[in-house]
Structure 1
């Protein structure tokens, strides 16, 4: 019976990294969970998250397809409970030169990071707006502030997400629904390995702890903040990016993300 009164949080991209840490915090803070990812590891994550009395439902689904989002939303509706917190964290990276990338690869990045994310946000936020209650945390990135040479599609998708988050927050400013954009920098997750960037300078550099990033984002969401950049180095980098010419930023990014840069002293 105790579980029935716990609020419901939905976390995408929750099998590992920042998403898993965000789900862990939500469970700790008294939420039941619906967690989603496009890999079977999401079920192992559900087992690990079933602590502190949390009821956790795992959904293995590809959120790069509208049908996948519909499948997740059906699972949410199946709980018979309103979503109090949506953490839209699912995302994909892709490194190397754009002209060398397969269409299917960059299309999946765009469809996961943008199309699937905003479709899910729209479906859940409509219900929140009708109740005039709810919190949404969207994982953007400081990468959205700079042209990403050798990571062009990913950075472009995060520029969209950062902007989108600010825009819908404004649209909902007269409601009790809050939108928060978490903008991390390079974080110690499987992102760079999956994006084929382990031979780059950024891939081999020391990175932020995903647990720290998640704590920063979750606290900002509960406080109803519009956006938060995790870590003082990332705050400085994003501030500098706002006043630096785009061409200079692209060249700086090239030095960090071009293949082979990680092998140079």
Structure 2
């Protein structure tokens, strides 16, 4: 069995940083990837942390991370957590470049990194993968349409991988957090929404602890945060599409939206 080491994307803050700290606390070397300078200071504060500055919304950034990881070896744990959203009207004031960048980070980078690192895990007969989706994977997403669609893709993608990898010793866990107290809302331009201002948020440390436990146990799914997270997801799945879209639109609609 190779020496354990982990790769965590989106590790400069929030759930990703909390997961990196958890690996470090367990004595596992962790490569922390993010496109922000803060990841370097956060990695330096850990015992076994290494920072890789990479913009994973670009192919060059993904290639840079892959090269840095392979200088160490092949990861035994892979946390594909980096993601973003673009708040606002798709047909209104949001930029096409921002929407396509969200697709590249939320979807393309995950597929790319999984394709690169999974084969070695299968050859070894052991590996742990965690992919951060969301409880909104089951709902249409007015005012964050690409984000919800991307999370739906990730949940379907991980479910398919689990079926393919059954019996190989490699497990894939889908993390479905609800609203969490991170920089997500500021970065996605959603601070002027009821979702950001009024909806209670879960603690990213709690979400990360739950995710880490589920990942290491090889469980298929983990709902991060309070028990209400799972309830919200189940209710969304049971709600007719039009009603679910209307309900979500009430909390994601920014001030000044046209309708």
TM score, norm. by length of structure 2: 0.95
Counterpart of 1:102 (choices 95, 105, 108) is 95
Q: C-alpha root-mean-square deviation of aligned residues, in Å?
A: 1.2
Structure 1 residues 11 and 207: alpha-carbon distance in aligned structure 2, compared to 1, 3 A threshold:
same
What does residue 227 of structure 2 align with? Answer: 232
Q: Distance in 2 between matches of 1:163 and 1:45?
A: 32
Counting only pairs closer than 5 Å after superposition, residues 1-265 of structure 1 correspond to structure 2 as 7-48=4-45, 50-51=46-47, 54=48, 56-79=49-72, 81-100=73-92, 101-204=94-197, 205-230=199-224, 231-260=226-255
Contact kept? 2:74, 2:117, Cα under 8 Å: no
Structure 2 gaps, min length 5 = none
Paired residue secondary structure (2:214): helix
Deviation string 1:85-111 (CA, Å, 9 cap, x unpaired) is 001101011111111211110001000
TM score, norm. by length of structure 1: 0.92
Q: Distance in 1 between matches of 2:9 and 2:59?
A: 14
Deviation at 1:38, TM superposition (A): 1.0
Deviation string 1:137-161 (CA, Å, 9 cap, x unpaired) is 1111111111011111111100100
Deviation string 1:186-222 (CA, Å, 9 cap, x unpaired) is 0000000111111111111320000000011100001
Deviation at 1:6, TM superposition (A): 5.0
Q: Distance in 2 between matches of 1:237 and 1:149?
A: 17
Contact kept? 1:6, 1:32, Cα under 8 Å: no
Count of residue correspondences? 252
Q: Which runs of 4+ in 1 moved over 3 A?
A: none
Q: Distance in 1 between matches of 2:89 and 2:96?
A: 12
